[in-house]
Amino acid sequence: MLKITALILICLSALTVAAQNVPPAVSSQPQTPIKSVELVGLAGVKENSGGTLTVGGGKLLFVHSKSTSGIAATAMEDVVTGNDSQRVVRGTLGALSMFGPYGSGRVLSLFRSKLDSITIQYRDADGGLHGVVFTVPVGKADWLKQELIAQGARTSIPTQAEASAGSSQSATTGEKQ
């Protein structure tokens, strides 16, 4: 019985040592392009242009129809995310439906799909202040924000992980006093 207990303790200590030597994961998701729509603000890109966003090499890259636009993460002064929704029936059909009798066309505007938005305030090479707004699929904006902060961007609103770590630290410092 004593030998079995000793063997279990040795195995557990070996596992804890092995777990401590594992390097942390660099990111929680692979570096795959994220489908996005640039709503407004990116120089040289038409409003409401579709494309893909990737983060790498200290930059946020927006690849659209024929070109690539990039913003250095260190030039980003504020990165803010939000949850939003958009009408499912858009475009000409959505506009024409508003003319339905007795307001029946307004019912179509009640059908909405969810999306996330990411707003970036940044400075160009001349020091001019700019802003750009992207929409991305649900759940991708917070991941993009964390990746940009890891690359050197700043934010005025802490990420969820930082907020929970800050509240736990303030609770422990309050207990020490």
Kindly indicate the confidence band of residue 10, based on its pLDDT and cuts at 50, 70 and 90. Answer: low
Q: Which two structure tokens, joined as six digits, stand for 115?
A: 């999306």
Kindly indicate the confidence band of residue 5, based on its pLDDT and cuts at 50, 70 and 90. Answer: low
Kindly indicate the confidence band of residue 177, based on its pLDDT and cuts at 50, 70 and 90. Answer: very low
Say how many C-beta atoms besides its own lie within 10 A of residue 129's C-beta.
9
Q: Is the pLDDT of residue 18 over 60?
A: no
CA distance 121 to 65: 24
Lowest pLDDT segment from 21-25, 38-42, 101-105: 21-25
**How many structural domains compose the chain?**
1
CATH number, residue 59: 2.30.29.30
Residue 1 pLDDT = 58
Residue 175 pLDDT = 47
Name the maximum alpha-carbon separation found in the chain.
Answer: 85
The answer as to whether 14 is a domain residue is: no
pLDDT tens figures, 67-126: 888 999 999 999 999 887 776 666 776 777 777 777 676 676 677 778 899 999 999 889
Reference 88, options 106, 116, 112; nearest CA is 112
State the average pLDDT over residues 143-172.
73
The answer as to whether 52 is a domain residue is: yes
Range of the structural domain that residue 147 is part of:
28-155
Q: Long-range contacts: 105-113, Cβ < 8 Å, 24+?
A: 111/87, 112/85, 112/86, 112/87, 112/88, 113/85, 113/86, 113/88
State the average pLDDT over residues 146-168.
75
The answer as to whether 4 is a domain residue is: no
The answer as to whether 106 is a domain residue is: yes
Mean pLDDT over all residues of the chain?
76
Q: Which two structure tokens, joined as six digits, stand for 65?
A: 């129809």
The answer as to whether 36 is a domain residue is: yes
